[in-house]
Amino acid sequence: MIKIEKLHKSYPIGKDSLHVLKGIDLHIKEGEFVSIMGSSGSGKSTLLNIVGLLDVHDEGNYYLNGQVIKDMNEKKAAILRNKFLGFVFQSFNLISYKTALENVALPLYYKGINRKERLEIALEYLEKVGLKDWANHLPNELSGGQKQRVAIARALVTKPKVVLADEPTGALDSTTTDSVMDLLKAINDEGMTVFVITHEEEVAEQTKRIVRLKDGVIISDELTKASKAV
Amino acid sequence: MFDLDRWREIFQSINKNKLRSILSALTVAFAILLFTLLFGIVNGLTNFFKEAFADDAQNSMFIRVWKTTKPYKGLQLGRRIQLRNTDYDYVTGEYSNKIQYQSARIYKNFTIKYKNNADAYNVRAVHPDHQFLEKTIIDEGRYLNARDLKEKSKVIVIGRLIKRDLFGEKPALMKRVNVNGISYMIIGIFSDDGGDNEERMAYIPVTTAQMLYGNNDYISQINLGYDPSLSLDAAVAFGNKLERDMRKQLNIHPDDQSALSVRNMAEANKNVGQFMFILYFIAIIVGSGTLVAGIIGISNIMIFVIKERTKEFGIRKALGAKPASIISMVVQETVLITTLAGYVGLTLATFILSSESLREVLEEYFIKDPSVSQGVVIGATIVLVLSGLIASYVPAKRAANIKPIEALNAD
């Protein structure tokens, strides 16, 4: 599903440049539940942004669903994101003036699905994350955990191949963290590839494979107990 | 293509950002309002001047004479200048190619009597062309003609108000009136846009007057209508040459302004034309300034709005929005607001300009019938809408093309 070879990325900082990813090789197969761990500055967010086509890499190869990603213009990237990827962000990134339902329905709007149908689908997904009763609330009327569940519903609504979650529990307390992780596990059980970035061991342990990143290189890549339990 | 969903997005965005939408709408509405009022007032001034000169033909010239104030060629000052038929014929012969109409005028004041009604009226003895020079409008019957002059007929054309004074509602045409003891036949009744004085006036043939009153060839004044195909400058030059030639003809000192003058509408027209040109020039500068201020206003608001929404655009892009869809969303929103606001400004300005009480006040300040051609205002609105389009397109394009990760991190 995701294949990365010798990926390099640096950011210019003034005259110098900061080499963030220094040759990453990573292969994630369909249906995997992978977490990337690392301290801040290890390059894990950069990796996710590149995988999510939110940013571009400098060197190396990246294949998404067998398609080589190179010299993407914004239009092509937008189509691929809409088709293959679902995002869950640490800060939720809901549109503040839209209700939960409208937020969830938005990716379907960009897919070109008519209003009636997309609201039906969106409601179905809100029900899945247990927020059907909150459909017509604005984001600022929801708790953090609820917002993240709306964001997850929004990420899932287009039935993407891969769900990318950047510190999905970073802004949540432990109870809501568990409920969000349970949701992600349930998604993975349905066969969706889930790619989580975290710096919390407890979160990482609930995934099936942990990739540890340090200073822009992979230092370990191992399966967890959770995967063996299956 | 009409996209209901797109418009739903736009209305939601307008609705959720009322203050910003209202501010940009106000900027545009105000700019159009000021623009329209300004041009309305300038047009009102123009209308006033046009009407002020409506009495006589726009191409008329009057040769008038008084007493000399300078001795010349052995002649004393204080000599009374008298125009005669020979002078009239001299003008005809000398300038026939530059003259459209020509008429003499003799001023008289007679008592006109019909049955028991009588009053004193100004009577002008003229040539048939005088009708066109004075813009006399024949309501009934006819004006004087060449045959009247040739036969020195005792015929009279009376103003609408003389008819009303003497005849009331009864018919007056072909009736005979007593003019200072001599019986004249009423052959026509006229009206005139020049006001009541002009309509309490009567015209008789110049030849008849010369025969009956003094039996001489005196005339008081020569009126001309220059060939309207002449340019204003050529007409002014013609007037000046005519003035010089007439002085020579009548043995008047070339600099004796008081003895003879040629009043030339071309000069007045030229002055009014220049005045109007300057007025419009100022109006265009101030009007454009207003529009530019409006454009800068929208641009500022749009730059701010787009900065404020950069993160939202990032989210939309992460969810699969193409840059074009973001650009067109912003541009359509702006165009919608500017169009509506432009319409509101235009309607408000039209309403203000058409208010009766305002019109009465403005008329005291020489502003008559202030109004603006739809074309000018719609043009101005289109300029603003286009500017709004550009003002939103440029920053929206930039915002839509920044990498989504940068947009997401924007705050």
Q: Give B397-409 pLDDT, tens digit per residue.
A: 888 888 888 888 8
B169 DSSP assignment? T
- By Cβ distance, the residue of A54, A111, A114 closest to B403 is A54
What is the predicted pLDDT for the residue at B139? 92
Model pLDDT for residues B169-179, shown as the tens digit of each residue: 899 999 999 99
Res. B360: pLDDT tops 80 = no
B-interface mutation test, from A54, A76, A80, A90, most B Cβ less than 10 A away: A54
Res. B45: pLDDT tops 90 = no
Q: Quick one: what percent of chain B has pLDDT higher than 70? A: 98
CA torsion angle for B229, B232, B238, B242 (degrees, to 10)? 120
One-letter amino acid of B270: K
Q: Do A75 and B317 touch (CB under 8 A)?
A: no
What is the predicted pLDDT for the residue at B191? 92
Q: Do A75 and B404 touch (CB under 8 A)?
A: no
Å from B303 to nearest chain A CA? 20
Model pLDDT for residues A69-125, shown as the tens digit of each residue: 888 888 888 888 888 999 998 888 999 889 999 999 999 998 888 889 999 999 999
Q: Is the pTM of this model over 0.80?
A: no
What's the complex ipTM?
Answer: 0.90
CA separation for the pair A222, B76 (Å, rounded): 130
Q: Do A78 and B311 touch (CB under 8 A)?
A: no
Residue B25 binned pLDDT confidence (cut-offs 50, 70, 90): confident
- By Cβ distance, the residue of A56, A81, A114 closest to B318 is A81
- By Cβ distance, the residue of A56, A79, A95 closest to B315 is A95
Mean pLDDT in chain B? 86
What is the predicted pLDDT for the residue at B88? 93
B-chain residues near A106 (CB < 8 A): 316, 319
Å from B300 to nearest chain A CA? 23
For chain B, the domains span 4-52+271-408, 82-249
Give the angle B266-B271-B273 at the CA atoms, nearest 5°: 90
- By Cβ distance, the residue of A55, A98, A110 closest to B405 is A55
Model pLDDT for residues A164-210, shown as the tens digit of each residue: 998 888 888 888 888 888 888 998 998 899 999 998 888 888 899 99
Could you tell me the maximum CA-CA distance found in chain B, to the nearest angstrom? 106
- By Cβ distance, the residue of B9, B319, B408 closest to A82 is B319
- The secondary structure of B280-322 as a DSSP string is HHHHHHHHHHHHHHHHHHHHHHHHHHHHHHHHHHHHHHHTT--
For the ranges B49-53, B59-63, B146-150, the one whose mean pLDDT is highest:
B146-150
Ramachandran assignment for A110, one of left (phi > 0), alpha (psi -120 to 50 degrees), beta (any other): alpha
Q: How many CB pairs under 8 A join A and B?
A: 70
Q: Is A69 helix (H, G, I), strand (E, B) or coil?
A: coil
Q: Do B320 and A52 touch (CB under 8 A)?
A: no
A2-6, B64-68, B149-153, B290-294: range with lowest mean pLDDT: B290-294
A-interface mutation test, from B3, B9, B319, most A Cβ less than 10 A away: B319
Could you tell me the maximum CA-CA distance found in chain A, to the nearest angstrom? 53
* Pairing of β A59-64 and β A2-13: antiparallel
Model pLDDT for residues B203-242, shown as the tens digit of each residue: 999 999 999 988 889 999 999 998 888 888 888 899 999 9
